[in-house]
Amino acid sequence: MSKLPDILIVGAGIFGLAAAHELQTRGYGRITVLDPGPIPHPLAASTDISKAIRMAYGPDEQYLLLAAAARDGWLRWNEQWGETLYHEWGVTMLTREPMAPGGFEYESYHLLHKHRFTPERLDGDEIIRRFPGWQPGRYVDGFYDAQGGWAESGRVITTLAQSATNKGIDLQPGHTVNEIIRQGGRAIGVRTQEGDTLTAGEIIVCAGTWSQLLLPELQAMMHSTGHPVFHLRPPEPALWQHPHFTVFTADISRTGWYGFPWHPQAQVVKIANHGIGQRLHPVDEARVVVAADELNLRTFLQDSFPELAAAPIVYTRRCCYSDTLDGHFWIDRHPEVAGLTVAAGGSGHAFKFAPVLGGLVADRLEGKPNPFGDKFRWRTLAAATQQEEAARYK
Ligand SMILES: Cc1cc2nc3c(=O)[nH]c(=O)nc-3n(C[C@H](O)[C@H](O)[C@H](O)COP(=O)(O)OP(=O)(O)OC[C@H]3O[C@@H](n4cnc5c(N)ncnc54)[C@H](O)[C@@H]3O)c2cc1C
């Protein structure tokens, strides 16, 4: 019997499962993870065919170092799982004007080199020679970083859920938490829509874009924003296959556009926009891609990848970020309610950190120092707070 408390985790996305694994390793008592299910949940941000894994974070040294630690973790997971779910196929980050100080790509490139990583600078000719799908002359500068790529995020969730069950973590789909029970300044359990009451010594809310519905005190700092995602199926995929095409960002801080090479299982090229998005209610409002989104995509494709401009769209999705006003994650104990921790606010860029997320959550829950912890602390943000994540198109 563990002397450490039992844990109830609300949400089986990447934050919830990563936390469950780490707390189990640290010897906590019974660990239960609740989710409406099925797991992976179809509407969860983590559930997808691919997520970009990059170390480039503009001038932000902390994210770079955290992403570098996560990359080591991804390589370890590939080995441990005996299956490659992180594909290190490289990342290409290009600009329409020469890279310049203050720009996302310039700052990323130089900071990566400062930390002894070796991204390769590309000029217009080299871009077309190596990656012939790009419109000649449209992108003139940028870099290729071999130490990045993409992860099969939905399958990562399935694998982590399976290994959690194998280790004795109690995964309970079919439970939608609708109340955190508070008593005398302490969270003592949860009530579910299905009529159950569960108690534990520590509750962790990892409900992604739904978190602020459970904790209204977060509503001023965190909201749901929906972002369009497209799957295209070009009849001739050769141009878009690895290694002729990689995970890319197309002047991302000025356009938001990024995407992935031909996905060998899904047989699609996925393209999405890391921009402002559309504020919406995560339950009451439909998450649909509209004609204007498709028009924006077609305009971008015509301009950047002409051979893809007419490719059929075979799937669309408006995927919701759990968006904090400053774009940094939210991983901390509740300042006023004992026994309650929040791990959410992924803000459209947290999946890549999956292998280190559990440690961040557990350290915060235990009050242990963590070099990155402070960035994701519980904080008060004014309504006018600006997004700070360097890649984001604002
Ligand atoms: C379009 C899009 C593209 C992205 N691209 C990238 C990328 O390329 N690279 C990257 O690093 N990151 C990316 N992200 C961000 C990343 O996907 C998220 O930051 C991360 O997956 C968030 O994980 P999470 O566990 O917080 O949330 P989720 O994965 O959404 O999980 C939350 C879970 O909570 C459950 N839940 C909700 N309400 C309740 C309740 N009341 N009771 C119980 N359970 C509940 C849900 O069912 C769900 O399973 C992207 C996100 C989106 C939307």
- Please report the atom of ligand 1 found closest to the CA of residue 347: 19
Give which of 227, 177, 229 is closest to 206, Cα–Cα.
Answer: 177
Whole-number Å distance between alpha carbons of 169 and 13: 15
- Ligand 1 center–CA 190 separation, angstroms: 21
Residue 2 has a pLDDT of 82
Residues in the chain: 394
Whole-number Å distance between alpha carbons of 262 and 310: 16
- Ligand 1 center–CA 259 separation, angstroms: 18
- Domains along the sequence of the chain with CATH: 7-46+154-221+326-376 (3.50.50.60), 71-149+223-323 (3.30.9.10)
Q: What is the pLDDT of residues 17-66, one digit of tens each?
A: 999 999 999 999 899 999 999 999 999 999 999 999 999 999 999 999 99
- Ligand 1 center–CA 244 separation, angstroms: 30
Residues lining ligand 1, CB < 6 A? 10-16, 34-36, 41, 44-46, 51-52, 176-177, 206-210, 214, 227, 229, 272, 319-322, 344, 346, 348-352
Please give the model's pTM, rounded to 2 decimal places.
Answer: 0.98
Secondary structure class of 127 (helix, strand, coil): helix
Q: Which two tokens mark 375?
A: 């960035």
Whole-number Å distance between alpha carbons of 311 and 269: 10
Phi, psi of 298, rounded to the nearest 5 degrees? -60, -40
- Ligand 1 center–CA 209 separation, angstroms: 7
- Ligand 1 center–CA 14 separation, angstroms: 7
Q: What is the pLDDT of residues 368-384, one digit of tens each?
A: 999 998 999 999 999 99
DSSP annotation string for 196-220 = -EEE-SEEEE--GGGHHHH-GGGTT
Q: Which two tokens mark 168?
A: 């004795």
Give which of 17, 19, 36, 44 is closest to 165, Cα–Cα.
Answer: 17
- Which residues, in sequence order, are CB contacts of 134 under 8 Å at separation 6+? 94, 127, 128, 304, 305
Residue 256 has a pLDDT of 98
* Residue of the CA atom closest to atom 1 of ligand 1: 319
Beta-bridge partners for 95: 141
